[in-house]
Amino acid sequence: MSLEAVADHRLWIWHTYFGVAGSNNDINVLNSSTLFADQCRGRGPAVQFTANGRTHHMGYYLADGIYPRWPVFLKTISCPIGERRVLFAAKQESGRKDVERAFGVLQSRWAIVKVEQERGHVTDWVDDEAGSSSSTATSLVTRGLPTGFGAVLQRQASMRNQQDHTQLMTDMIEEVWNRNRRR
C-alpha cells in the first residue's frame, strides 16, 4: 500500500471517528476517497481470497457498525447471538482495534499522515486505457459516456452490493469458527 493510500485510509478513519466541524458526512468521505476511486477505476490492488470454501475477489476493511453494508467493509456484529457470531465479533473487534492502533503509531512517530480537506484528482474520471494519462484529455465517447466508464460503474456497483456483503459476513463467520475449532 502506498503512503498516499495509507494517508487516504487514515483520513477516512479520522473523519469517521472524530469528524470535523462543517466537514463531509461519512458517505461523502467514502465517495471522495482516492482509495475507492482508484478501486473503481481498476487501479486498486487485485485481491483474491477464500473463506468458507468460497472465493472472494475484493479486499475489505475491518469496520464498525456505522459503515454501510458493502462488501468492502467487514463489520462487527453489535449484538451477536450464538457462539459463532460471538467469536467472530470478538476476533473482528480485536483486529480492527489493532489496525487503528497501528495507524496511530505511524502517525505519531513518523507524521506520515496529513489530513487534507480536498483532493482535486478524486473525481477525475479519465480512462488511462483510452491512450492518455492527462486529466484534461478528451477520451473516446460511446453513448455519451467515456470509454471504460461502464466498467467503472460496474466496479462501483460491485463494491456496494449488499448481497455480497451478507455473503462475505456469512463466509467470514464460518471461516473464523472453523479455524478456531481446528486449534
Confidence of residue 92 (pLDDT cuts 50, 70, 90): very high
Q: Is residue 91 part of a domain?
A: yes
41 part of a folded domain: yes
Please report, to the nearest 10 degrees, the dihedral formed by the alpha carbons of residues 173, 174, 179, 181 taken in order.
110
The answer, as to whether pTM is greater than 0.85, is no
Containing domain of residue 35, as a range? Answer: 3-118+142-182
Give domain status of residue 131, yes or no: no
- 123 domain-assigned: no
Q: Residue 129 domain-assigned?
A: no
Under 8 Å between Cβ of 96 and 60? no
DSSP class of residue 157 equals H
CA dihedral 19, 100, 56, 146 (to 10 degrees): 40
Range 25-53 average pLDDT:
81
Provide the CA 108 distance to its chain's centre, in angstroms. Answer: 23
SS3 8: helix
Q: Out of 1-5, 37-41, 101-105, pick the least confident.
A: 1-5
Q: With respect to residue 52, please indicate whether it lies within any of the assigned structural domains.
A: yes
pLDDT tens-digit readout, 137-167: 555 555 566 667 888 888 888 888 999 999 9
pLDDT at 139: 52
**What's the total number of domains in the chain?**
1
Which triple of cell numbers denotes residue 167?
455473503
Residue whose C-alpha is closest to residue 5's, from 37, 38, 35: 35
Identify the band that residue 81 occupies on the pLDDT scale cut at 50, 70 and 90.
very high
Q: Specify if 166 maps to a domain.
A: yes
Evaluate whether residue 169 is within a structural domain.
Answer: yes
- Average confidence (pLDDT) over 166-174: 96
**Is 108 in contact with 116 (CB distance < 8 Å)?**
no
